[in-house]
Structure 1
Amino acid sequence: MPYVVDFVNVSTVGLESSPVAESLAGLRANEARYFKNKYDHVFTVVPAGEAPQALDWVTRILAEEREIVIASPALEVTSFEVDGIRMAYVFYESGLSVNVMYSIDEAGKRAVGFKLSEGMDVPEELASRFKFARQKSKLAGVIRGSYFVVKGAY
């Protein structure tokens, strides 16, 4: 069942099984606020099992680009297009958020971003490969993030 993410009244709906549910909900709300303010897009998520194609797309890109397999179960996903960019997000039980930004135009930007919820450790599968920068968010506390550029065609 789709859930419209509210960035005014942050809720842990759909994320209750995460040990960092509150900060993961803040991270999800932070993304919702960004897309509403920048693109006037309503950020809506569904349980991972209801959108296997979005989860498979992100999983495939991680595996083929960097041989990364996320160990944590996926809780929620979303996939949409804004301003010529295909976006997909996966929110994992561990508190990790993975997003793929894939410009539809061949010359556009394509990248995978990782964001860590406050209170979670860096996942083992990412720890030796990426350095994480910190940013503060009113909704999510301290977010640690990293990314890599996508080289292949998906």
Structure 2
Amino acid sequence: MPYTVDFGTVSTTGLESSPVADALAGLRANEARYFKNKYDHVFTVEPAEDAAATVDWVHRILEEERGIVVSSRALEATGFEVEGIRMAYVFYESGLSINVMYTLEDSGKRAVGFKLSDGMEVPAELAAFKFARQKSKLAGTIRGSYFVVKNEY
């Protein structure tokens, strides 16, 4: 069942099994606020098993582009399109959030972004990446990194 993320009242709904559930909920709310403010898009998520096509698409890009296999269990995911950009988000039990920004126009930007919730360690599969820090009122300190997608998906 889809869940509309409320960035006014941060909730751990769907993320309770994460050891950093509060921080992950803040991270999810931070994304919801961004999409509402920038695109007037309501950010909804659903259990990962109900969004298998989105999770599989993200995992395929990770594997084919960089040989990355995420060891944590996917809890929730969402996929949507705004202004010609296909977006996908997967939120993991470890506190990791992975997003794919895939511009549908051939010459557009395409990238995979990683965000680590406050309090989680860098997963071994992402040890090669350097993470920049940003402060968020909703999520505390977010560490983020990304890579550019080279192929077509």
Q: What TM-score, normalized by structure 2, do the two folds share?
A: 1.00
Report the Cα offset of residue 85 of structure 1: 0.1
Distance 1:125 1:142 in 2: 21
1:71 aligns with 2:75: no
- Which residue does the alignment assign to 1:120? 120
Distance 2:28 2:44 in 1: 10
Number of residues paired by the alignment?
153
Report the Cα offset of residue 13 of structure 1: 0.0
Report the Cα offset of residue 120 of structure 1: 0.1
Distance 1:52 1:72 in 2: 15
1:151 aligns with 2:140: no
Aligned-pair identity in percent equals 77
Secondary structure at the aligned position of 1:51 is classed as helix
Structure 2 unpaired stretches of 5+: none
Report the Cα offset of residue 142 of structure 1: 0.1
Secondary structure at the aligned position of 2:45 is classed as strand
- Which residue does the alignment assign to 2:137? 138
**What CA deviation, in whole Å up to 9, does each residue of 1:64-104 have, x standing for no partner?**
00000000000000000001000000000000000000000
Secondary structure at the aligned position of 2:76 is classed as strand
Secondary structure at the aligned position of 1:68 is classed as coil
Secondary structure at the aligned position of 2:107 is classed as coil
For 1:87-126, list aligned pairs within 5 A.
Answer: 87-126=87-126
- Which residue does the alignment assign to 1:15? 15
Report the Cα offset of residue 51 of structure 1: 1.1
2:33 corresponds to which letter in structure 1?
R
Distance 1:3 1:34 in 2: 17
Distance 1:120 1:152 in 2: 30
Distance 1:21 1:118 in 2: 10
2:136 corresponds to which letter in structure 1?
S
- Which residue does the alignment assign to 2:26? 26
**Aligned alpha-carbon RMSD (Å):** 0.2
